[in-house]
Chain A
Amino acid sequence: MSPLDPRYLPIAATVAILLAAYVFGVGRYDAFSDGQVLLNILVDNAFLLVVAVGMTFVILTGGIDLSVGSVVALATVMCAVLTEQAGLPAVLVIPIVLATGALLGLGMGSVIHYFEIQPFVVTLAGMFLARGLAYTLSTESISMDDGVFTAIAQTPVPLPGGLHLSISATIAVCVVLVAAYLLHYTRLGRTVYAIGGNKRSAFLMGLPVARTRVTVYTISGFCAALGGVLLTFYTLSGNSLNAVGLELDAIAAVVIGGTVLMGGFGFVLGTVLGVFVLGLIQTLIIFEGTLSSWWTRIAIGVMLLLFILLQRLIVWRAR
């Protein structure tokens, strides 16, 4: 075996399986080889990717953030209500929404850290709170025809070869790059890993544990709100029922990408791959197009299992 750092093994394994699954799809479905299919996975999951990146920070510190799905919903409703009903311009609305998400995260992070309450409950309360706020703003779904939102939503970003991305997907890619930089090249990022490795040691080593933990939830809240904005671009509407259960998808993406739920190990790149795994599974199933509702679920479960078993197998063999 090549002297690959064992830490990168799960990632290498995931890439290999993704490739295999893609080749399988190309062989089986006519239109699958179109490069746009792959790009669409990114386009369609841009908001999930952003949310999952935020979640990666939290999970790396050994925490968890269940509120993200609700914050996404709240963000979409806020975008819609503020532009359509309050008549504010988009350039104002988007920062307000992002700030709200970050603020929610900040609040949850502070409670988690300073009152030593388990992240699970605090963010679960946050989940109730954000969804409740969304309902309070509007239980109806609201369409948007604001010029800026529409323009961003409907302007494709052309790529060579007649392919295209959306602006949202481009934003998501930027978020990934920024996150990777933060985690790898800044003290904040390294402290995140240290806290995940051992919170108490990190504290005794004189690392800014309090600040970092709070920051991490703030980042996640911000990413969730940004994900909500991207979802608003995606659907051009606000709906308080959006993104129910998204937190599980995000956590799944992070964990499939090789990040350990207990914290301390993992990469943003893994999260990207995790999102691709989920997206590819869905794409394969849609292309198959013959499964009934329940077989769809069963197939998702089975494919998830296959992915993970193969991942384990490859990692085992290589060790």
Chain B
Amino acid sequence: MLSMTGIRKEFPGVVALDDVAFRMFPGEVHALMGENGAGKSTLIKVLTGAYHVDAGNISLNGSAVRFAGPLQAQQAGISTVYQEVNLCPNLSVAENIFIGREPRRLGRIHWTAMKNRSAELLRRLDLDIDPGRELGSCSIAVQQLVAIARAVDVSARVLVLDEPTSSLDADEVATLFGVVRTLRDQGMAILFVSHFIEQVFAISDRMTVLRNGKLVGEYRASEITPVDLVRAMIGRELATLDELEPPRRRSGAGQAPVFAATVDLGRKGNIEPFTLDIREGEVVGLAGLLGSGRTELVRLLFGADRADQGSLRLGESTVHLRSPRAAIARGVAFCPENRKADGLVEDLTVRENIVLALQARRGWARPLPRRRQEELARSFIDRLRIRPADPEALVGNLSGGNQQKVLLARWLLTEPRLLILDEPTRGIDIGAKAEIQKLIAELAEDGMAVLFVSAELEEVLRVSHQVAVLRDRAVVDRMPNEGLTPDMVLHTIAKGEAA
């Protein structure tokens, strides 16, 4: 139904796609796989006309097409969720879903109908939020779901989903897959990108693997094993997938001194007062459902939002954080979930983004020597495998996963005493993810306190010594990670009290 052949796309200095072929069939889910920077998103943008293609052919239903822009692609029945949430933060949720095809009456936009219909659509995705709410104030996960809601509503023939699940938890993923399967059964062709191997195998019928902008191969899901798939992606031999994954943590840290402790810290309208302590050398994972307040909790600890009640002790002194700067000065680092809005400065280079926090702490008068900056940048480029491995590349030009690595590098570099990571592995490929998990373990071993947030419960359980559970913006439980299984945690979440 849709086929692309001989696709080539060059950016200044980088060949992002080189002679790539890709095809889709109605009633099938086709997964596009590859490491960070392999060219998946670029292929999608080439398909929808968001990028001009340098060479190659695209045909839809047998006739050659070349879209001048996403508008045309949409009109031709291709509906897309791009990787970075590409919505308008200043508009309401409902508008983001319907803009461009608002329900109208007598030629004017019918606002009530729009609100009602979007509420309905959101319910279909199990999302209960006010359609009138400004999108920018919603968490990344919600934004991702809104983008999906926007895409699935069109009477499209092709649905393209670029990492739609990167910040969704298991429940939402299940809901999404339900929707996707229905659409597939109605004969829609679906392109799906994800770094979660299990998800890919759970949903897709066919897979295409890219590596370094080149086509590796196309496989039927039933004819390939996860190990082979990963091997195709990373291009090296693997015995088992476990080779990539570090062993699971057990509760440790024992009786090391407490580094951070809150007593009834809270903020009206954001998060209920909570009491939590984190020891040096201990990784505390935060588990909870979408909107349970994990992000809000960690923002309070970092002073990104100001607490209006309770107290916080960092190290030896009780502090009242008025700004992130105050937190940083006391050895706290915070890697935010929304890398685009809160994290990276896209106009600056990889090097500059990496040293930014360190430089901010030193103040403007004591610049890091250029040579030192390069050393630091290079060491993280190597460790986290940032591609392209060029410290002078502009961060805005990097692929999503690589951007995330840069952000992470910035905070690892500051060598904090408490490292807060909000969805640090969002959009990162399995190889690098394992690397990061290993790194966290090492850091903790060296005495760093870590607060770890992830929508992927597995991951939380793998890296943390302790798991704190949130529900309805309150901390409901905290348990040592001994023999914990995802089900046990989910049970706690569901019940809203200690298991």
Interface string of A225-238 (1 = CB under 8 A from B): 00000000000000
B95 an interface residue at 8 Å Cβ cutoff? Answer: yes
**Cα distance A74–B47 in the bound complex, in angstroms:** 47
A289 an interface residue at 8 Å Cβ cutoff? Answer: no
**With A186-B108, A186-B109, A187-B109 as given contacts, are A207 and B89 in contact (CB-CB < 8 Å)?**
no
A193 an interface residue at 8 Å Cβ cutoff? Answer: yes
Which of A181, A196, A205: most chain B Cβ within 10 A? A205
B334 an interface residue at 8 Å Cβ cutoff? Answer: no
Cβ-defined contact, B88 with A198, below 8 A: yes
**With A204-B70, A206-B74, A207-B71 as given contacts, are A187 and B88 in contact (CB-CB < 8 Å)?**
no
Q: How far is the CB of A165 from chain B (nearest CB, A)?
A: 28
**With A187-B109, A206-B74 as given contacts, are A201 and B86 in contact (CB-CB < 8 Å)?**
yes
**Cα distance A203–B50 in the bound complex, in angstroms:** 8
Cβ-defined contact, A204 with B86, below 8 A: yes
Q: How far is the CB of A8 from chain B (nearest CB, A)?
A: 13
**With A186-B109, A204-B82, A206-B73 as given contacts, are A197 and B88 in contact (CB-CB < 8 Å)?**
yes
Task: Return chain B residues, CB-CB under 8 Å to A7.
Answer: 134
Contacting residue for A191 out of B48, B80, B90, B100, CB 8 A? B100
Closest A residue by C-beta to B85: A201
Cβ-defined contact, B87 with A201, below 8 A: yes
Task: Return chain A residues, CB-CB under 8 Å to B107.
Answer: 186
Cβ-defined contact, A264 with B88, below 8 A: yes
**Cα distance A7–B92 in the bound complex, in angstroms:** 12
**With A187-B100, A205-B100 as given contacts, are A193 and B71 in contact (CB-CB < 8 Å)?**
no
Q: Is the interface of A mostly helix, strand, loop or mixed?
A: helix
**With A186-B109, A207-B71 as given contacts, are A194 and B86 in contact (CB-CB < 8 Å)?**
no
Interface string of B406-428 (1 = CB under 8 A from A): 00000000000000000000000
B69 an interface residue at 8 Å Cβ cutoff? Answer: yes
B150 an interface residue at 8 Å Cβ cutoff? Answer: yes
Cβ-defined contact, A194 with B99, below 8 A: yes
A114 an interface residue at 8 Å Cβ cutoff? Answer: no
Q: Residues of B within 8 Å of A, CB-based: how many?
A: 25
Task: Return chain A residues, CB-CB under 8 Å to B73.
Answer: 206
**Cα distance A204–B160 in the bound complex, in angstroms:** 13
Q: How far is the CB of B90 from chain A (nearest CB, A)?
A: 4
**Cα distance A203–B100 in the bound complex, in angstroms:** 11
Q: Name the interface residues of A251-267: CB closer than 8 Å to any CB of B.
A: 264-265
Task: Return chain B residues, CB-CB under 8 Å to A201.
Answer: 86-88
Q: How far is the CB of A177 from chain B (nearest CB, A)?
A: 13
Which of A191, A194, A206: most chain B Cβ within 10 A? A206
A208 an interface residue at 8 Å Cβ cutoff? Answer: yes
**With A185-B108, A190-B102, A203-B69 as given contacts, are A198 and B95 in contact (CB-CB < 8 Å)?**
no
Cβ-defined contact, A205 with B150, below 8 A: yes
Task: Return chain A residues, CB-CB under 8 Å to B88.
Answer: 193-194, 197-198, 201-202, 205, 264
Cβ-defined contact, A208 with B95, below 8 A: no
Interface string of B30-61 (1 = CB under 8 A from A): 00000000000000000010100000000000
Interface string of A167-205 (1 = CB under 8 A from B): 000000000000001001111001101101110111111
Contacting residue for A200 out of B75, B86, B109, CB 8 A? B86
On chain A, which size bracket covers the interface? 20 to 34
Task: Return chain B residues, CB-CB under 8 Å to A190.
Answer: 91, 95, 99, 102, 109
Cβ-defined contact, A197 with B89, below 8 A: yes
Task: Return chain A residues, CB-CB under 8 Å to B50.
Answer: 203-204
Cβ-defined contact, A185 with B70, below 8 A: no
Task: Return chain B residues, CB-CB under 8 Å to A203.
Answer: 50, 69-70
Q: How far is the CB of B76 from chain A (nearest CB, A)?
A: 11
Closest B residue by C-beta to A210: B69
Q: How far is the CB of B115 from chain A (nearest CB, A)?
A: 14
**Cα distance A207–B98 in the bound complex, in angstroms:** 11
**Cα distance A196–B86 in the bound complex, in angstroms:** 13
**Cα distance A196–B91 in the bound complex, in angstroms:** 10
Task: Return chain A residues, CB-CB under 8 Å to B87.
Answer: 198, 201, 205
Cβ-defined contact, B86 with A205, below 8 A: yes
Q: How far is the CB of B52 from chain A (nearest CB, A)?
A: 13
**Cα distance A203–B82 in the bound complex, in angstroms:** 12
**Cα distance A184–B108 in the bound complex, in angstroms:** 9
**Cα distance A166–B99 in the bound complex, in angstroms:** 39
Q: Name the interface residues of B278-318: CB closer than 8 Å to any CB of A.
A: none
Task: Return chain B residues, CB-CB under 8 Å to A187.
Answer: 99-100, 102, 109
**Cα distance A190–B75 in the bound complex, in angstroms:** 19
Contacting residue for A264 out of B90, B99, B102, CB 8 A? B90
Task: Return chain B residues, CB-CB under 8 Å to A191.
Answer: 99-100
Q: How far is the CB of A2 from chain B (nearest CB, A)?
A: 16
Q: How far is the CB of A310 from chain B (nearest CB, A)?
A: 24
Closest B residue by C-beta to A7: B134
Cβ-defined contact, A206 with B109, below 8 A: no
**Cα distance A264–B89 in the bound complex, in angstroms:** 9
**Cα distance A202–B70 in the bound complex, in angstroms:** 10
**Cα distance A184–B134 in the bound complex, in angstroms:** 16
Task: Return chain B residues, CB-CB under 8 Å to A200.
Answer: 86
Closest A residue by C-beta to B135: A197
**Cα distance A203–B73 in the bound complex, in angstroms:** 12
Residues of A within 8 A of B (CB): 7, 181, 184-187, 190-191, 193-194, 196-198, 200-208, 264-265
The list of the 8 closest CB pairs from A to B, nearest first, reads: A197-B88, A197-B90, A264-B90, A185-B108, A206-B74, A201-B86, A206-B70, A206-B71
Query: Could you show 9 A-B contacts with beta carbons less than 8 Å apart?
Result: A187-B100, A190-B109, A197-B89, A201-B86, A201-B87, A205-B99, A205-B100, A206-B70, A265-B90
Residues of B within 8 A of A (CB): 48, 50, 69-71, 73-75, 80, 82, 86-91, 95, 99-100, 102, 107-109, 134, 150
